[in-house]
Structure 1
Amino acid sequence: MRKWIQFPRQEGISSRQAHADFPEKAIYEREIGRSGFFGPATHLHHTHAPTAWSDWQGPLRPRAFDLNLLGQQGVEVECDSPWSAPVILSNAHCLYRIWHCKQAMSKLARNADGDELLFVHQGSAELFCDYGHMQINQGDYVVIPRSTMWRLEPHSPMQILMIEATNDSYQLPEKGLVGPHAIFDAGMLDTPAINEQFSAQYSEQTWQVEIKRHNQQSVVTYPFNPLDAIGWHGDLSVVRINWRDIRPLMSHRYHLPPSAHTTFVASRFVICTFVPRPIESDPGALKVPFYHNNDDYDEVLFYHEGDFFSRDNIEKGMVTFHPAGFTHGPHPKAFAAGQAHKKTFTDEVAVMLDTRDALEVSEQAGKVENSQYVNSWQVK
């Protein structure tokens, strides 16, 4: 049995409430926390921004990748198979990829390494899988259970963020005091249907299945289409939900931590979704993400659409990566705008990945890195 060393103390000049009513002499608050906002934490008050570094040497640095530039740098992003999509970040428990799918898949896909999460950044398609048929659209999350056979028939060119829970499964977060229907009701999850479109693709022609296991591919050939189910019953299935169906937790008097926006959880990481919401209106409440040391998790943000209110010069289709081990938070312009309460509403949509284990940056991602991102916190 283990127990955190906890002994709440107060030293010097500080606020009594986290993220609100800061001391007059120190407008900068920094949270040092453990276990991703769920463990013990201390809130320090500073006279200078904790991210106001003047120089940075060494590999531990905030990084930004413009995935829109991958094709221009010789990285093959358009491919028939999801297993050929370029890896951006990875560790033993997670595989983070971007896939451009422009035409109907010629083979079925099957991931024997873990559950797959698709986030549709652009485009739409018909999805056919073991459980039937469904249409997927821009902004959809699609959870595909391990070893499910599936394929896509796009209506238009697609860009899909793929996050694999390696040797693991996706589950829903425990919602605690707010109850199981908060954020989104499980009744909002859509499942495939055994409908006319599904039965129309039954075939006695040869089909192949590309199976990924240990990141190696095997191809199995059938003299018929193996997506030939006529019905099913149970509680394991592909599920879909769109970010527009998410109703974020809000507090007009307190800036909630990212964990309040958790959408899916695996054993060693979480997926959070930031969607449009009102900005805190209480005069003493912090109105931008707080400076923090999340020293047990690496943090990754994929920017889907909107105005990313805590960042500067970030466009949709970009990814930021903040490894554990240093303080990060809003850019100076965003912090100043929050102090002035210039905006009353955020219109950003972003997908966050927080991993308990360190992520490795791929060679492909390095080709589209903005090397000046580390300097973007400097006051100019």
Structure 2
Amino acid sequence: MRFNYAKGIHSRQAHANLPEGTYEEELGRDGFFGDQVQFYRLNPNTNWTRIEGPLQPHSIQSYDLIPEDMNDPHGSPVKLLYNEDISLSISRRRESMPFFFRNADGDELHFIHKGGGRFESDFGAMSFEVGDYILVPKGTNYRFVYDTNENLSITVESRYAISFPDRGVIGQHAPFDYSKLETPEPDPVYESDQGEWELKIKKCDRFTSVFYPFCPMDVVGWAGSLTVLKLNVRDISNLMSEGMHLPPSVHSTFTAKGLYVCTFRPRSLEGNPNVERVPWGHRNIDFDEVFFIHDGQFTMSRTEGGKGAATGSISLNPAGLHHGPEPGVREASRKNWQKHARSEVTALNIDVELPLTMTDAAKAVEVPEYFKTWAVSED
């Protein structure tokens, strides 16, 4: 049991009935799972005038990236963020993979932002489309065969196994029913006139190519508990509350050691006018937060497609630095309150425990001085 203390002017219910003239800020341990405290401040925690030093918010524009695989079918995706356990990369290949690939460093979670086609692996083949998550176990041989020319996928690689979070009292059918998960059907290639087939293996971030006179996709059957899995975001239902703005952790879709991947989906907003609809100011002291906008408008941004908040943008809020809505967003939410209002965003929220490093490729396409999105005048 946790014991809460309360001093001074405060609300008896977090994220609701804020005292007049105050702004709420949450300091939490272990993401949203540990001990927390709500501060009731006289000013928004992000109303800074400037920031000096390495802890700054960043916004990476994925549409401006030109990965190797965009112009070279034999090329690789571009890595944007990484630590010793996790990496995040973008692929924009215009052609199908002419080789099979095996990641011997970790599990991969692919999210299809643009494009569609056929995913081939040891486990068999299955189609893929926009909005699909494809979970690929470490050591699996696979390749993407595209039906489309304009493609973009985001890949999270973890050296620890990626699985599903504990649902606790929620049960087995929310936020998605496990029966919605799809697995491939064996589809072996018995004969091929290609001649030579390449299997590219990544180990310790170094590549080795093994060549065969037959197609590596020759598995006629499989049995076991390890498999490729596919889940589309349309099959994920939001957990909602009429009287409480729920934390991002309730939207957790996948997890690994030091990693949570949450999926935000369109939903009805909270129906109680005394409840905050806009996320509160937050000091997530233990996790870097990465946010990828797949579709729609994010409620913490002032304008649709605004600076750093456009579809396809990737924001990074590093642990230690507080973050929150852009200036005026909370006030507008209260002023324009409507009973049946909705949020129409689909986004990925990726929380990573160990600090992430930005690559030069990411820095080359980030919004300059993105921290000024929240800056106020010194006058």
Same-fold call, TM cutoff 0.5: yes
Q: Name the residue aligned to 1:164.
A: 157
Note the C-alpha offset of 1:7. 4.8
Partners of 2:184 and 2:34 in 1: CA distance: 39
SS at match of 1:270: strand
Q: Name the residue aligned to 1:333.
A: 328
Structure 2 spans left out of the alignment, 5+ residues: none
Question: Cα RMSD (Å) of the superposition?
Answer: 1.8
Q: Name the residue aligned to 1:206.
A: 196
Residues 142 and 241, structure 1, Cα contact 8 Å, conserved in 2:
yes
Summarize the Cα distance change of 1:154–1:17 in structure 2 as closer, same or farther, 3 Å threshold: same
Summarize the Cα distance change of 1:12–1:112 in structure 2 as closer, same or farther, 3 Å threshold: same
Letter of the 1:21 partner, please give it: N
Deviations, residues 190-221 of structure 1 (Å, cap 9, x unaligned): 00112xxx345753732110000000000011
Does residue 1:115 correspond to 2:115, yes or no?
no
Of residues 206, 214, 217 in structure 1, which corresponds to 2:207? 217
Partners of 2:34 and 2:324 in 1: CA distance: 19
TM-score by length of 2: 0.93
Does residue 1:44 correspond to 2:33, yes or no?
no
Letter of the 1:338 partner, please give it: S
Summarize the Cα distance change of 1:37–1:338 in structure 2 as closer, same or farther, 3 Å threshold: same
SS at match of 2:92: strand
Q: Name the residue aligned to 1:177.
A: 169
Q: For 1:230-379, what aligned pairs fall within 5 Å after superposition?
A: 230-312=220-302, 313=306, 314-342=309-337, 344-379=341-376
Note the C-alpha offset of 1:307. 1.2
Summarize the Cα distance change of 1:202–1:332 in structure 2 as closer, same or farther, 3 Å threshold: farther
- Decide which moves more: 214-223 or 303-312: 303-312
Letter of the 1:301 partner, please give it: F
Partners of 2:334 and 2:130 in 1: CA distance: 34
Partners of 2:169 and 2:128 in 1: CA distance: 32
Residues 70 and 76, structure 1, Cα contact 8 Å, conserved in 2:
no
Q: Name the residue aligned to 1:129.
A: 121
Structure 1 spans left out of the alignment, 5+ residues: none
Deviations, residues 38-63 of structure 1 (Å, cap 9, x unaligned): 11111010111111001111111111
Q: Name the residue aligned to 2:94.
A: 102
SS at match of 1:250: coil
Note the C-alpha offset of 1:258. 0.6
Partners of 2:336 and 2:117 in 1: CA distance: 41
- Decide which moves more: 269-278 or 306-315: 306-315
Figure out how many residues of one structure are paired with residues of the other and give that number: 368
Residues 70 and 77, structure 1, Cα contact 8 Å, conserved in 2:
no
Residues 251 and 280, structure 1, Cα contact 8 Å, conserved in 2:
yes
Residues 119 and 125, structure 2, Cα contact 8 Å, conserved in 1:
yes
Note the C-alpha offset of 1:135. 0.3
Partners of 1:318 and 1:285 in 2: CA distance: 29
Residues 273 and 337, structure 2, Cα contact 8 Å, conserved in 1:
no
Q: Name the residue aligned to 1:84.
A: 76
SS at match of 2:154: strand
Note the C-alpha offset of 1:238. 0.5
